[in-house]
Structure 1
Amino acid sequence: MTRKPKNTYGNESISSLKGADRVRKRPGVIFGSDGLEGCEHSVFEILSNSIDEAREGYGDKIVITRFADHSIEVEDFGRGIPVDYNPIEERFNWELVFCELYAGGKYNTNNAESYEFSLGLNGLGLCATQYSSEYMDVEIHRDGFVYTLHFEHGENVGGLMKRENGRKKSGTKIKWKPDLQVFTDIDIPAEYYHDILKRQAIVNNGLRFEFRNQTENGFETEEFLYEEGITDYVKEIAGEESLTSVQSWQAERTGRDRADKPDYRVKLGVALTFSNRVKLTEYYHNSSWLEHGGSPERAVKQAMVSQIDAYLKQNGKYLKNESKVSFADIEDCLVLVSSSFSTQTSYENQTKKSITNKFIYEAMTEFLKHQLEVYFIENPIEAGKIAEQVLINKRSREKAEKTRLNLKKTLSGSVDLANRVQKFVDCRTKDLSRREIFIVEGDSALGSCKLGRDAEFQAIIPVRGKILNCLKAGYDKIFKNDIISDIIKVLGCGVEVKSKANKDLSSFDLNGLRWNKVIICTDADVDGFQIRTLILTMLYRLTPTLIDEGYVYIAQTPLFEITTKKKVYFAYSESEKTHILSMLGDEKFTLQRSKGLGENEPDMMWLTTMCPDTRRLVKVTRAEAEATSAMFDLMLGDNLQGRKDFISEFGADYIDQADVS
């Protein structure tokens, strides 16, 4: 047999991506993702160049068009990208701009003609987006000429075309279609453009964005413009009922991130107000929304907590031994938008969602501390309102946290359950794969179940009377109910609270469940069914995962006992009774309706309800629980007309079962 040679790993094994493949085969490296988010970022790279041009004072309008075939067009009215021959580089500028990563006009920040405060400092945008396009068409007006370029799948086709322009016009128009060979999804929704263009209008005073969206009915047009930028935006968010007036502060600073680094310039801008109705904090740098914050966010937190805490101390606002305010207390009533610019920026990555500049953090912290100190001195009435609202937020948060911790402690099973839960009877084994908990109806059932069970692995907790209807009650009322609290304690897994107003009460952890089976065991009569439904409804609302994961069961109890000389038969339904009687034929028997659980002898309870070999358990599913909950709500809820309609339509089917004389 000829042995197959092993793959070798030598000098010839090393290779590098070249040209368009550097982006097309690894788009996630440049755009952060090869999915829709990366595709969206490729659009922003083109848009950011037009914004940089407008911020330099060239053009006050940008038109963005979203076509139905997923192609995009961005048109600005700036100076137009230089694309002709570059004698210094000895190449055409269009090659550098559209086909060379890390090339552009924004590196030399000391040159007065370069972009001083720019979104696109990495020199990747135009080239990376061109490389990742199915096609790209470029039309540039500058110096009295019209220049056109065409690219397909990252390669230029036809070179640079140049002709004289009869009109005095300048600007750049780029139309392209993201390539599905590069991105897994190119269907950028209109909502993305709404969001990004509004944000850019907010941080670029007076710059008008026109969005054209192609639909079945033609082009829908929308404009975004904030003449006063972040100040107008804060006023818009806060409305007419803010606690304080809108403050707008600006400053410029020069400094460096490290002693061995060169100085750079920073422009700081902050607009803010305080409100007891709305809250918002947003951070922008060089027009890019810092979704993950970074240096400006850290500065705002530091400055706000420091100055407001100092004000509260100086004016005796704290109670004796009261803890210091946190930024969460301030943020809850703060509307603040920060927009900063710098000639050098350290982004956390190419997607520009966070910046890490040490000097920006230090400069902004010092700037905000000073402005807040002056503001509080000059506006004592507003300072008092801010202090009062922040303390209200703080004390409310602490009260809610105390309530949550107390509730968690109340519902926790880490204590000795036998001493804390009335009439709960535990089992001996600690093996979670065997432990079963029976939720039984009443004290009498507790006695017979206790005597009839296998104490090694079966535990019991009685439900004393009908428990609270968890469909209609609020969480506060539910958790004050002793029966429900006891059951949750015994289960040990906490509760799932999906209400936003009570989300802090949620403490569910499936790993805390102490049981392999949670078995609802009630009498087979009307009252028993109602109690079973109430328990099931409670579990469905507070611990639905237990149902989803198959931990909840219903123990079927027999309706009839049929006794012969040789054997006792149990029938769990009318049809089973009929079948057993037909099977007995002429044999003599006695027939009686089964007693309630509390009247059963221990051996009978074990045989019919508790013995794993002879009992009947029904696993509760999500669909069954939802149907039960819906029916229960219909029968006992607030929908009176729905209940009337149901009884009118189906009442005759149940008349024989009605307990009336």
Structure 2
Amino acid sequence: MAETNTYSEDSIKSLDWKEHIRLRPGMYIGKLGDGSAYDDGIYVLLKEIIDNSIDEFVMGAGRTIDVNISEHKVSVRDYGRGIPLGKVIDCVSKINTGGKYDSRAFQKSVGLNGVGTKAVNALSSTFIVQSYRDGRTKIAEFSQGAIVRDEAEKETTQRNGTAITFHPDNTIFRNYRFIPEFIENMIWNYVFLNAGLVINFNGKKYFSERGLHDLLVKNTDAETIRYPIIHLKGEDIEVAMTHAQQYGEEYYSFVNGQNTTQGGTHQAAFREAVVKTIREFFKKEFEASDVRASIVAAVSIRVQEPVFESQTKTKLGSLNVGPDGPTVRGFVNDFVKKSLDDYLHKYPQVADAMLKRILQSERERKDIAGIKKLANERAKKASLHNRKLRDCKLHFDDNHERKQETTLFITEGDSASGSITKSRDVMTQGVFSLKGKPLNCFGLTKKIVYENEEFNLLQHALNIEDGLEGLRYNNIVIATDADVDGMHIRLLIMTFFIQFFPDLVKAGHVFILQTPLFRVRNKKETIYCYSDEERRNAIAKLGSKPEITRFKGLGEISPDEFGLFIGKDMRLDPVILRDSNNQSLLQYFMGKNTPSRQQHIVANLRVEKDDKLLLPPEETATEESAA
């Protein structure tokens, strides 16, 4: 009651723009993160800057963008028109200030809220903007959104354009790191969506001539494609599609150049339109799942004033293409119905190959219908009292502000799962416990997912049987010991996901949990170390012979300690598919022993003495359990 009485005029505060962004960064850039997930805040900052340069290209000003990232420094230089020199400071430091409100100039741009660049400015320890325009230049520097340098205009010989350099603030993005693969994927998407654009990233050139066609070529194993990629283009819409051999459906969807990783109204409309068009073309009422099984497609549309379901714009919520335009559903359906139907009539050999793939999916579905029904009934009964799953209260498919935090730990053994269960956040973190090593499913059909109890229960726990729309956890974290058995279990689980649910991996939902290898402590301080280098640094910091413990397994870490490693500073390594040829990758690592794999193992053997941790003599005496 005492706190209630202190509510007065002094309790009412007004924050300026930069204070509000720094106090509530999630409202502007989604989750913060440390860079281990593709949608973490540091990548959103980068994207906000590049988006402005892309808009210049779309307007016909500047065909090249230079992006350089080293350590924690980001530099982006475009060769567009350049920010008007008198408005350079306003454009990066005044909310609701920008050149995109006039629909005649930027009718179908993503960043219409006037916040993007300002959020980058406010969330950076250093932010430098320089505009080059008609032989003159203007430069200004900020720190955490506050201006620290404002130079007068001067002459320049540089080409027109804008250069921005920033350092994400490490007091907000703690222990962050840029993962090059995430940035490379972002840049590839930019050039696929803007044919003719050149982006130079750290000295490497990225370029696409055929847009979404090139995207599918890059991201799909050529040996598994059942017919040539169908590439369709219209005003404000572009589509590329084929059928391959993988299980499930795989989509790359975009709105105004924004990668809508969670789909939305345009992707739903496309899935519906493809089924409807193919049924009408072949004059047969195929099951929708048979038509879409193994489809790989990319769809990009441009709409006026898009409405997204979150600030990070990963799911389109717009129902209409524009204020006076048709619905998104009708727009996509009309385009697909006409263009795809025309294409199939024009290329009957493609239509024949498509029909064969659909009929194959129909046979496969019928072959496993019986076992699938029984498996689903078992899973339904198990869900009432699933000993393997210790669920959390919130899920990714809930409309809740913490849904991005939802996590499922996949672990092995009672002791490890017990430690995680006791220390987890019951609101957002669930635990799925494996019993020993799972089956090596490489080369097996999807029938095994229903025949194998663990795989079936895991599939149902994640709710991914029919695609990612109902995915229950944003982060699927493989938590195994850092020994040989733990590594093997890790590979077996990854094989399961890559073999049967590759879209789950490609969408950035699968991670490996890092847990500390060492604990270094004295009476005053405890430091947990994830590598030998961190251990050496901790020893140097604490001095005078600290106590050193090596953790051999997750079960050795007490629940109290485990809570430190799965909280806000949790360290995760993303599982990233660098090669589109998944089958070749799995064959090499998980197939029958091959001469090439034997040669690789022999060439990379590393012998250690007696499985002992080799420590300097002064460390060995103080080590507690580093055998």
What letter corresponds to residue 286 of structure 1 in structure 2? N
User: Is 1:397 equivalent to 2:358 in the alignment?
Assistant: no
Distance in 2, Cα, partners of 1:186 & 1:105: 32
Distance in 2, Cα, partners of 1:345 & 1:283: 14
What letter corresponds to residue 95 of structure 2 in structure 1? L
In structure 2, stretches of 5+ residues that fail to align are 35-39, 320-326, 388-433, 459-488, 490-552, 556-592, 594-627
The equivalent of 2:273 in structure 1 is 303
User: Is 1:24 equivalent to 2:6 in the alignment?
Assistant: no
Distance in 1, Cα, partners of 2:151 & 2:110: 27
Q: RMSD across aligned C-alpha pairs, in angstroms?
A: 3.4
Distance in 1, Cα, partners of 2:91 & 2:380: 63
Q: CA deviation at 1:498?
A: 5.2
Q: Secondary structure at the match of 1:138?
A: strand
What letter corresponds to residue 505 of structure 1 in structure 2? E
The equivalent of 2:117 in structure 1 is 126
The equivalent of 2:449 in structure 1 is 503
Q: Deviations over 1:589-623 (max 9, x none)?
A: xxxxxxxxxxxxxxxxxxxxxxxxxxxxxxxx999
The equivalent of 1:148 in structure 2 is 139
Larger radius of gyration: 1
User: Is 1:35 equivalent to 2:38 in the alignment?
Assistant: no
Q: CA deviation at 1:54?
A: 1.4
User: Is 1:282 equivalent to 2:252 in the alignment?
Assistant: yes
Within 5 A, what are the aligned runs for 1:180-329?
A: 180-212=170-202, 221-236=203-218, 237=220, 239=222, 242-252=225-235, 267-276=236-245, 280-312=250-282, 314=283, 324-326=286-288, 328-329=289-290
The equivalent of 2:12 in structure 1 is 14
Cα 1:42–1:33 change in 2 (3 A) is same
Within 5 A, what are the aligned runs for 1:622-641?
A: none
Q: Deviations over 1:522-543 (max 9, x none)?
A: xxxxxxxxxxxxxxxxxxx9xx
In structure 1, stretches of 5+ residues that fail to align are 85-92, 213-220, 253-266, 319-323, 415-431, 433-492, 511-540, 542-620, 624-637, 639-661
Q: CA deviation at 1:235?
A: 3.7
Distance in 2, Cα, partners of 1:494 & 1:387: 42
Cα 1:224–1:331 change in 2 (3 A) is farther
Q: Could you say which structure has the greater relative contact order, defined with CA pairs below 8 angstroms and 6 or more residues apart?
A: 2
Cα 1:185–1:102 change in 2 (3 A) is farther
Q: Is the 8 A contact 2:189 2:215 kept in 1?
A: no
Q: TM (normalized to structure 1)? A: 0.55
The equivalent of 1:80 in structure 2 is 82
Distance in 2, Cα, partners of 1:240 & 1:408: 33
How many pairs were matched up? 395
Cα 1:309–1:106 change in 2 (3 A) is same
Within 5 A, what are the aligned runs for 1:330-345?
A: 330-345=291-306
Q: Secondary structure at the match of 1:271?
A: strand
Distance in 2, Cα, partners of 1:410 & 1:342: 45
The equivalent of 1:547 in structure 2 is none
Cα 1:408–1:56 change in 2 (3 A) is closer
Q: Is the 8 A contact 1:61 1:207 kept in 2?
A: yes
Cα 1:222–1:332 change in 2 (3 A) is farther
Distance in 1, Cα, partners of 2:7 & 2:343: 68
Cα 1:161–1:182 change in 2 (3 A) is farther
The equivalent of 1:357 in structure 2 is 318
Distance in 2, Cα, partners of 1:131 & 1:40: 15
What letter corresponds to residue 232 of structure 2 in structure 1? W
Cα 1:129–1:275 change in 2 (3 A) is same
Distance in 1, Cα, partners of 2:380 & 2:45: 50
Distance in 1, Cα, partners of 2:378 & 2:162: 67
Distance in 2, Cα, partners of 1:38 & 1:363: 33
Q: Secondary structure at the match of 2:65?
A: strand
What letter corresponds to residue 96 of structure 1 in structure 2? D
Distance in 2, Cα, partners of 1:289 & 1:136: 26
Cα 1:21–1:410 change in 2 (3 A) is closer
Q: Secondary structure at the match of 2:311?
A: coil
Q: Secondary structure at the match of 1:187?
A: coil
Distance in 2, Cα, partners of 1:201 & 1:156: 34
Q: CA deviation at 1:507?
A: 3.8
Distance in 2, Cα, partners of 1:405 & 1:387: 26
Q: Secondary structure at the match of 1:391?
A: helix
The equivalent of 2:354 in structure 1 is 386
Distance in 2, Cα, partners of 1:413 & 1:336: 36
Q: Secondary structure at the match of 2:163?
A: strand
Cα 1:49–1:135 change in 2 (3 A) is same
Distance in 2, Cα, partners of 1:29 & 1:412: 38
Within 5 A, what are the aligned runs for 1:531-570?
A: none
Cα 1:242–1:404 change in 2 (3 A) is closer
Identity %: 24
Distance in 1, Cα, partners of 2:344 & 2:233: 17
Cα 1:336–1:24 change in 2 (3 A) is same
Q: Deviations over 1:555-591 (max 9, x none)?
A: xxxxxxxxxxxxxxxxxxxxxxxxxxxxxxxxxxxxx
Q: Deviations over 1:196-219 (max 9, x none)?
A: 11111111101111111xxxxxxx
The equivalent of 1:215 in structure 2 is none
Q: CA deviation at 1:369?
A: 1.6
